[in-house]
Chains A and B, each alone.
Chain A
Amino acid sequence: MTRQASGRPGQDRAWRRRLLSPWLTTPCLLALALLAWNGFVTHWRVSGFILPAPGPVLAEWGALLLSPGAWLHTGLTVLGTLAGFLLAAGFGIAAGILLSLSPTLERLSSPFIVAFQVFPKVALIPLFVVWLGFGLGPKVLTAAILPFYPVMMNTLLGIRSVPEGLRDIMASFGAGRLPLLRRLELPYALPFVFAGLEVGIVLSLVGTVVAEFVSGSSGLGYLLVSRINSFETAQMFAIVLHLCLVGLVLHGAVRLLRRRIPGRS
């Protein structure tokens, strides 16, 4: 009898895991949250200006998804985000490599790097507007500056993490500086770089949207502010949801790239 029962715990665990799969739990938890939200709003009779019920918000989001104008704004936000992100990726990786090459350079620059990192960079957006006008310029610049530091530091960290043994092996092949970088340091650092890029793409989106708050005549950030100004709170919430979707898609795209790194499971 005990013997028969012994198969059970394993089976139970397998079932639990299947039941707790995110594909099942996430929609359930979301539905629960929406119900709670709805209950809260109706029970306390919260004004639609302060917090609209989920129904109207979802309806507005549906309308947004069907409106070509909204997609134009979405496209502009994505454009600013991607342009800034690519700049940050390029310069961040290059700067990380540069710092890894020279410990002196790293020592000299590290106070400035730290200062730059702790400084709230969005405070510079008005200045960017003065420099670059109201177009894409300030957005791209902000979207490039926010993720620069994590991309650079992760690249540096990745190169620093190369085990001494692998360096010894490369040295025993007589490999010069460039082959060392190309064949060992960069491939080794790639997962670190991608971890930085995953954080970075989200920061790029943040940068773009904040720049649009300040400077824009287009983009989802601009749209959001204009809806608040006209007290269309439900539409504003719909834009927030939409931004969440955009963020998920962008982040997912970077994760998908990361999955394609060979040789690491």
Chain B
Amino acid sequence: MAEPPDVLIRLDGVGKDYGGGVSALLPTSLAVGGGEFLVLLGPSGCGKTTLLRMIAGLLPPSSGGILISGEPLWSSGGRCRKALLCRLGLVLQDANLFPWLTAEENVLLPLELRGGSERGRRTARAQAMLALAGAGDLGSRLPHELSGGQRQRVAIARALSCDPDILLMDEPFAALDAISREALDLELQKLWLETGKTIILVTHSIAEAAFLADRVVLFAPRPGRIAELVELRFPRPREPELMFTPEFQQVVRHLHERMSALMGQA
């Protein structure tokens, strides 16, 4: 498959070995284009989280490297280049909001830690991000007063607060009910279209992957590796009706058959 025209993230033989016999992720190479919506799909245990954590600067690779706009994220000593972290926003399956901070304070936290702008501008920025994530009226609530979906909106606002150009999401909506999940998928697409961020999203839902992705990276387990890249050319913005079209169903069937085959091998 052809490389995207403007490569933003380059995985250069990046692999991870936790030291338990089987590699969590075999050396993997992949180029992610600027503004691309990339979805990592696969059954659990095939190294998706491992890869995302390495791209997020949380886990040093055992081999290979990661380049962001040509700059290596990991130095040879396994240390992460902190200067590049401000280009990455992270959203995990659990919202991981700080329970003693209100939604707005949660979104403010990374801004305060990074310093720089003055207080009033930070607050304005936090409120704008909450609004962008569809949580504009929740700023004064504490996390335990929010629903799962609302918490995840706040987590997205927090990830966006320092204006990263890359959003990394590890099964962000997996714990939500089907209805909330569909709503958040739609809003995520809208947010992505409006902001032009590059998104790498991990999921084990085939329908979610096919609905959101420009490209789906299908992973295989034991050892974790890329099995297939599938490019999806459905026009944007995609509407929920897309899921009932034969073209969409065909993609879903293909991914499903491949995934079943991969599970059967393992």
Query: Which A residues are closer than 8 A to B by beta carbons?
Result: 163, 165-166, 168-169, 171-175, 179, 183-184, 187-188, 190, 261-265
Give the CA-CA distance A123 to B38 in the complex, in Å.
Answer: 68
Interface pick from B13-21, B97-105, B126-134, B240-248: B97-105
Which residues of B in the span 76-103 have a Cβ within 8 Å of any Cβ on A? 82, 85-86, 88-90, 92, 94, 96, 98-101
Q: Name which residue of chain B comes closest to A166, CB basis.
A: B96
- Summed over the interface, the residue pairs from A and B with CB atoms below 8 Å come to a total of 55
- Residues of A contacting B110 in the complex (Cβ-Cβ under 8 angstroms): 173
- Residues of A contacting B56 in the complex (Cβ-Cβ under 8 angstroms): 168, 172
If A172-B56, A187-B100, A262-B100 touch, does A165 touch B114 (CB 8 Å cutoff)? no
Is the CB–CB distance between B98 and A187 below 8 Å?
A: yes
- A258 CB to nearest chain B CB (Å): 13
- Residues of B contacting A179 in the complex (Cβ-Cβ under 8 angstroms): 113
Residue from A166, A173, A263, A264 having most chain B Cβ neighbours under 10 A: A173
Known contacts A168-B53, A174-B113; can you find 17 more A-B pairs with CB under 8 A? A163-B96, A165-B94, A165-B96, A166-B96, A168-B58, A168-B90, A169-B90, A169-B92, A169-B96, A169-B158, A171-B58, A172-B90, A173-B110, A174-B86, A187-B98, A263-B99, A264-B99
- B48 CB to nearest chain A CB (Å): 15
B57 within 8 Å of A (CB atoms): yes
The 8 closest A-B pairs by CB, nearest first: A263-B100, A165-B96, A172-B90, A174-B85, A173-B110, A174-B82, A169-B96, A173-B113
Is the CB–CB distance between B113 and A171 below 8 Å?
A: no
Query: Which B residues are closer than 8 A to A by beta carbons?
Result: 53, 56-58, 82, 85-86, 88-90, 92, 94, 96, 98-101, 109-110, 113-114, 142, 144, 158, 162
Give the CA-CA distance A179 to B98 in the complex, in Å.
Answer: 14
- Residues of B contacting A171 in the complex (Cβ-Cβ under 8 angstroms): 57-58
Q: Which of B53, B100, B109, B142 contacts A173 (CB 8 A)?
A: B109
List 19 A-B residue pairs with CB atoms under 8 Å apart, sorted by A's residue number. Answer: A165-B92, A165-B94, A168-B56, A168-B92, A169-B90, A172-B56, A172-B85, A173-B85, A173-B109, A173-B114, A174-B114, A175-B113, A183-B109, A188-B98, A188-B100, A190-B100, A263-B101, A264-B100, A265-B144
- Residues of B contacting A166 in the complex (Cβ-Cβ under 8 angstroms): 96, 98
- Residues of B contacting A262 in the complex (Cβ-Cβ under 8 angstroms): 100
- Residues of B contacting A169 in the complex (Cβ-Cβ under 8 angstroms): 90, 92, 96, 158
Give the CA-CA distance A66 to B101 in the complex, in Å.
Answer: 47
- A262 CB to nearest chain B CB (Å): 5
- Residues of A contacting B94 in the complex (Cβ-Cβ under 8 angstroms): 165
Is the CB–CB distance between B113 and A183 below 8 Å?
A: yes
Q: Name which residue of chain B comes closest to A261, CB basis.
A: B100
Residue from B99, B101, B142 having most chain A Cβ neighbours under 10 A: B99
- Residues of B contacting A163 in the complex (Cβ-Cβ under 8 angstroms): 96
Give the CA-CA distance A163 to B98 in the complex, in Å.
Answer: 10
Residue from B57, B86, B113 having most chain A Cβ neighbours under 10 A: B113
Q: Name which residue of chain A comes closest to B83, CB basis.
A: A174
Is the CB–CB distance between B144 and A172 below 8 Å?
A: no
Is the CB–CB distance between A184 and B92 below 8 Å?
A: no
Q: Which of B57, B99, B101 contacts A172 (CB 8 A)?
A: B57
- B135 CB to nearest chain A CB (Å): 17
- Residues of B contacting A168 in the complex (Cβ-Cβ under 8 angstroms): 53, 56, 58, 90, 92, 96
- Residues of B contacting A183 in the complex (Cβ-Cβ under 8 angstroms): 109, 113
- Residues of A contacting B57 in the complex (Cβ-Cβ under 8 angstroms): 171-172
Give the CA-CA distance A228 to B180 in the complex, in Å.
Answer: 72
Give the CA-CA distance A1 to B237 in the complex, in Å.
Answer: 60
- Residues of A contacting B100 in the complex (Cβ-Cβ under 8 angstroms): 187-188, 190, 261-264
- Residues of A contacting B86 in the complex (Cβ-Cβ under 8 angstroms): 174
- Residues of A contacting B98 in the complex (Cβ-Cβ under 8 angstroms): 166, 184, 187-188
- Residues of B contacting A187 in the complex (Cβ-Cβ under 8 angstroms): 98, 100
